[in-house]
Each structure stands twice: as C-alpha cells, then as structure tokens.
Structure 1
C-alpha cells in the first residue's frame, strides 16, 4: 500500500507526490492531518481553516471517485504526528509514503522525524517539490549562495527555467471502483475540532474554480496588469492567492497557462504578462528564502542588525491599526476590508504595513501575526517576506528610507475614493476632493464620527529614518 499525505497541495492535477504514488498497480490511499492546536499556535485564520476544509471535502470526494480513500487524522500538534502516522501505516499496511516537501521550519522538523519513525518499520518516504516552479536550491549565486536581493534572483530564475523547463503532472486516472465519501460536515469529531465549517460563499473551492479564475484573469486583465494592479477599486488582479496558498492550483499551472495564453514566456518588462510573471517569481523568492534561511521561520529579521531597532509594542496604537481607526482613510479602509473579507489587495498590504512600522513604529512581528490570523491566503513565506520588506528588515535592495505616505498613496491609487467609501462608511457621502484628507470637511459639517489622524506622517517619517540610522553609529 502507498499513502499520499496531502498538506498545502490540495489538488489532483500537477501534484507530483500523488502522480508518483499512482505509478504502478499497488493500492493507493490518501491522508490529511488536522492539527487544531498547532494551527492555533501558527495563528491560522478561521476563514483560512474553513476554506481549506471545504477544499479537503472536495478533494476527498474527487479521490473517492477515483477509487482512492482519503483518511483523516486529528493530531493536535506536529510533535504527535510521527507516532500517529506510524500507527496508521501499520493499520493500513503502508510500505511507502509520498508527500510534497514543506518549507517552514516546524513542518520540516516534523517531516524529518516522520522519516525516521517510519524507517523503523520499513516504510520509505518520498518527498517532492510541489510548491514551487523551480525547487529551492536550484537558483543560487555563482558562489552557491541564496540571492539576498530579488532582481538578480528573478533574472537567474528565468534563466534556470529556460534551461530546465518544467512538467505539468496530469491528474491520476481511476484506480478502481468509486468509493463512498462522507462529507466533513457530517463528521461530528471534525466539527468539534474546528467549529463551524461552513465555507465563505465569496471563496468557492475546487480546482475548476481556480482554473476558471486564472483563465478569466488571463483573458481580461493580464495584458493591462502592470497598469491596473495597484488600484484596489479595479478588478485588475488574479485573486488567486488563496488558491495558491492552499495548493488548489500550482504555480507551474499558472506559468503554463500564461505561456499558452500569450504564445511565449515573457522575459522583460517590455513584454505583456511579465509583470504578473514577476509576481509569481516574488512568491518563489520568498519560498526559497524561507527554506534556505530557517531563522525566517523563527521571528528573526533577515538583516540581523535590525533586531536592535527600538520598535514600539503600544497595544492601543496597535488596536487602532487593527480595527481601522487610524484617521488615515486608505489605511482604515484596507484594514476594515481585511477584517470583513479575509483578503487584502497587495498595494494595500504595502500601505498598511508601512504605516504600522514606519508611522507607528510598531514591530513588524505584530503585523505579521495579525495578518496570519485574518488572511484567507495566509502563507508564512509570502507574509513574512512582505512584512520584512515593508519594515526595512528584509531582503531588499532599497534602503530603509522607503516610507509610504498614506495620504498620497490613497490619492494615487484610489483617486476618487471609491474603495475608501466602500469600507469607511463614515465617509460614504464625502466629496472626492476631501476623501483622502476628510477632517476639515468633517469639522465644517460638525461631525466627529471619524477619528483624527493618530500621528503626523511627516514627523513619524523622520523618526523612522532616525531609528534605522541609529544602527549605523
């Protein structure tokens, strides 16, 4: 018996672990492990759990149609997984385990222990690259080190992809008679472990849905992506991040679909489609970094010297940021959108992260954790990479003086205030001319229903720069 262990790769197509397990005539079973306590420690958002379980339910149904049973194990923490998995392998008569490689340090340690535990009962483990187009470690400098800056990594990644190419693994064919599948909602112990499992209707699951979204984006928006991606009131992005984070679609499928749509693989900014491809390469960059620099999974900055920065931990200021009460409309709209929908536009993620770290001078770790506790697309590599980029502690060529002005960012990327008025209901009736600096208009109307700016950006910017310059002394 072969056992396929699904993790953040909840799909049939382009799943190398599943594809290799289904080679040959041996019986195949599948497994998904529920670890509620561990997920809580990792700040996994409830909306992400519901999304993931809706997809596990869909995956179980599809596997059952192929004659492959999906087993569910509840194991509270990763430390308990090796023993529980060894017991299941004995029970099922498993001789080989197949899984796609994890990149986070806790998951890597768990998998290392699993390998050792299963070896004691003659079960061999096979690990595959299922989360990246090119496996971590493939794209290195001439001296064999990981790139510290994105742009040269991007160039080297494109060159390596040209040299290596890539393969899209087909979904397996049926391996026997269809099997029954009991929906997760009917399993009392699953409900007890995770609470309400009703999926959010804004985020339908399924590989077909992920491909549908990808194809609509490629048809309607990819050519203009570079010009429209920064405007949150415009449907100019793919909105595929939840599907990539859960592994409902693979980055290889995205690259292949882009090539098929354009008829070529873009190589420079001058070519349509390159800006979106470059975003996929950013995703690769952060995942490679996380695997090759394990301290990034341990709340440590990429630039060690920045650990000495005098960050604030002010709970009241942090709460105002979390709740969208900063007095800066674009920041507040973004945070309220996140709290309601579990998703945030990428430009807004940069704006609110810059505001927390450079205007409020609050430690990026608080923002990173809060995002993970709310985001449907919470992914340690991307989230950590983005927060450290914004905070000035991460892998970035630009010096620390990048400080976003929240007012001018709003004026530039939400010029008519459409996004702001959608989410900051106190400003729903404000004229566009005042929407980014509403306080004079509100005073004239004798209204006090929207907070004053909690900081003066000009003063806060100078303080942020001084914080970093103090490290040079």
Structure 2
C-alpha cells in the first residue's frame, strides 16, 4: 500500500507525489488537520475554509479513481510523526509520498516524519512539485542563493531554454480498496466560517482553477502588463489562492502562458512575458525561504535593518487595520482585504509602504495582519512582499522610495471607481476630490469619513531620517513616486 500525504497540493492533475504513489501500487490519500499549528502560523479563517472546500472537491475526484481520502488530526505538527506512523501500521503502508514544502517548520516536520517512518522500515519519498526548480539548483557563480531577482530570473530563463518542466499525468482508476473515504468537516475549531459572499468569490476545485487559468490566458493575458496595476479593472488572473493551496500548479500556469504566446517566455506577447515573470517572483521568494531561513523566523532579510527605530503606535495601527486612515485608496484597499480575503497587488505595495514608511510601524505587524486575512496567504510571497515594501528585504525598494498614496491613487484609480466601490460614503465626490477629501475643508468635508491620521510629507521625512541613521546605510537623495 502507498500513502500520499496531501498538504498544499490539493489537486489530482499534475501532482507529482500522487502520480508517483499511484505508479507503485494501490494508493490511499491522507490530509492532516492541524488547527493549533495553523493558528500559530496566523492562517486566515477564510483560507482554512478554502482548504476544506477544496478537500471536498478533491475527495470526490479521487473517489472516482477509487483513491480514498482519509482525514486525521495532528493538532500541532509535532504530532504528525506519531499520527502518520499509526495510520501506516493500520493500512500496512510500504511508502509515504509527499510534495516538498519549504518553511522552517515544514522542513522540520517532514524530517521528523521521515525519521520516524524509516525507523519502522517505511519509505519516505519527497518530490519537487510546487516550484519549477529545486531550491539549491539555481545559484550564483559562488554557489550561494541569489539575493537579487533580476539575476535569479536570468538563470531561470537559461534553465527553461534548456528544458521545460513537464506536466505529470493524473493517475488512472485503481481497483477498489476496502478503505472508505472520511467525511470532510465543514469547519475546524478556532476558525470562523467566512460569509457566503466571500466563499462565492472563491469557488473550490480544480475545474474552477482551470477555468480561471483558461479564461485568463485566452482573453486577458495579452493586456496583463498594461492593466494589472489598475485595481478597478479585471487585469489579474485571480489564481493566487488556488496556487497557494496547490489546486493548480505553477507548471500548469507556465504551460498555459506559453501556449498563449507561441511557446515564448522572453519575447512575443508582453503580457504573457510579464505574467511568467510574476510566476518567477513567486519562485524566487520560496528559494529565499530555503537559502535564508531567518526570513521565516520573523527576521529581516537585511540584518542591519533590525536596528530600525519602529514606532509603537497602537491607535494608528488599528486605524490602518480597520480602514480608518482618512486616505481613501488605503482604506478602500483594506476594506477589499477584510471583505474578500484578497487585495490587489499594486495596493498591497501601497498599503505596506504607508504602514512601514509613513506610519513607521514594524513590517511584521502588517505581515501578520495580512496572513490573518488573506485567502492566498503564503509565507514566502507575503514575507517577500512586506520586506520589499519596507526596504528590509531582498532586492527591496530603496529606502528613499516611498509611494505617495495620493499620487498612486490618482495614477491607478484616476476615475475613483475602486474607491467608490469600497467606500460608498465617498460616492458623491468627483474624480478630483475623491483621492483626498481632506482638501475639501470642514464645511464641505465628508461627515462620516475621517481626517488623515498622518501628514504625508512630514512622515516621509521621519522615515528617511530613521533609515539614514542605520549603520552601513549610505545617505541618498530622496525621490517620490
């Protein structure tokens, strides 16, 4: 008997571990519920709900292949070795198959499980699956992990020219086993069920992920570069939640993008090239997780920035979290996050820079808040994005680059459509007034909308001074964007 232990790979197609297990003999699948661990990792309730809904879909599709899906509980990952060993004994399992995961805790968990199983004579096989390249195989000339994305991308391109990752065939139907699938719970203790409207935005299952990918690559990818920065436009693929849960693979995404671009990933349709670039950013941050494990221990990638004098400003932090900053583009973005479990990528950068530069609040506060609300929460991508925005990370925005939320708003939501959708209290303002209602003054202001909690130019100077005072930072001229 073969056992596939499912984690962030909730799909039947192009699933390396599943295909490898099924090729070796009769296969059973298992998923471990780990609510205590998920709470410690700040996983969002809407994300846990999304996993459960996808497990239901996967259980049905595996059922058609006669592969039972079992549910077990290891409240904390420390309990995973004993729980899996017990199951292996019950089912007389010869080998356990997994797709690699890359955080510090994930790596420790898998090493402990492998050791426990191998001591009992049970094989443990792990496979490259959620990445195009195995961490440790894309390195600098001095055999170290890249710190700069453009150089990492160049080597990835060279590798892709030599050989393209192939898609793995889904397993065929196996003989019926005397093992029944377990019911998938509707909820897990400690995680509230999100609203029906949020769930409706993110239907579960591979068919939905495939539909989104096909729609995007057939019709929208061509305009991706020109439209992806405008939050009121449907310019992005809306696949991030499916990628994070492994309902679709980066290989499937890469192949679909290439198909839409005559097999090219460096030339041809600029939209397709830009989107493939985003897949490689995702890849880059996972490699960073392995090469520089301090980033998954709440540490800054650039050690010198650990000395930054972050402000303790609980009221301002709360105003940011609750979409009450008095800056419409920031508040609209935060409302989008709170209500949908997702935020437009351009706005993730804008709100992150506002928190870390204008409010000078530690990026870790923002990183944690995002993880607690994002349906696509992914340690590597979320940490990478926050550290990029706060100038503490790899290849980060120079510390003197501080997005001005007003100019970002005017540039990327010029008609105010996004703001009006999420802040209906401002719907009566024209497209000039809507970006900064404070300019209207008391009598003509908007009664139920707050004044800005910070002066943008003064706070910008404060941030520049804080960064300039760091050791080994060279003072540079400021530039606004």
TM range (shorter): over 0.9
SS class of match (1:71): strand
Could you say which residue in structure 1 is the equivalent of 2:27? 28
Q: Take 2:465 and 2:174, find their aligned partners in 1: how far apart are those partners?
A: 64
Q: Take 1:163 and 1:259, find their aligned partners in 2: how far apart are those partners?
A: 15
- Equivalent pair of 1:364/1:387 in contact (CA under 8 Å): yes
Q: Which moved more, 1:445-454 or 1:29-38?
A: 445-454
Q: Take 2:173 and 2:141, find their aligned partners in 1: how far apart are those partners?
A: 45
Could you say which residue in structure 2 is the equivalent of 1:159? 158
Could you say which residue in structure 2 is the equivalent of 1:52? 51
TM-score, normalising length from structure 1? 0.96
Q: Take 2:22 and 2:195, find their aligned partners in 1: how far apart are those partners?
A: 32
Could you say which residue in structure 1 is the equivalent of 2:16? 16
C-alpha distance 198-400 of structure 1, shift in aligned 2 (>3 A): closer
Structure 2 gap segments, 5+ residues each:
473-481
Q: Take 1:442 and 1:184, find their aligned partners in 2: how far apart are those partners?
A: 55
Shift of 1:441: 2.9
Q: Take 1:305 and 1:198, find their aligned partners in 2: how far apart are those partners?
A: 42
Structure 1 gap segments, 5+ residues each:
none
Could you say which residue in structure 1 is the equivalent of 2:403? 404
Could you say which residue in structure 2 is the equivalent of 1:306? 305
Deviations along 1:416-460, whole A, 9 cap, x unmatched? Answer: 100001111221111112000112336343543111111111111
Could you say which residue in structure 2 is the equivalent of 1:246? 245
> How do residues 19-418 of structure 1 correspond to structure 2 at under 5 angstroms?
19-24=19-24, 26-177=25-176, 181=181, 183-185=183-185, 196=193, 200-268=199-267, 271-396=270-395, 398-418=397-417
Shift of 1:398: 4.3
C-alpha distance 198-452 of structure 1, shift in aligned 2 (>3 A): closer
Q: Take 1:139 and 1:358, find their aligned partners in 2: how far apart are those partners?
A: 33
Shift of 1:397: 5.6
Q: Take 2:455 and 2:305, find their aligned partners in 1: how far apart are those partners?
A: 24
Q: Which moved more, 1:231-240 or 1:271-280?
A: 271-280
SS class of match (1:156): helix
- Equivalent pair of 1:65/1:177 in contact (CA under 8 Å): no
Could you say which residue in structure 2 is the equivalent of 1:421? 420
Q: Take 1:269 and 1:263, find their aligned partners in 2: how far apart are those partners?
A: 8
Q: Take 2:287 and 2:331, find their aligned partners in 1: how far apart are those partners?
A: 33
Deviations along 1:115-168, whole A, 9 cap, x unmatched? Answer: 111111101100001111111112111111111111111111111122232110
Shift of 1:42: 0.5
Equivalent pairs, count: 469
C-alpha distance 44-457 of structure 1, shift in aligned 2 (>3 A): same
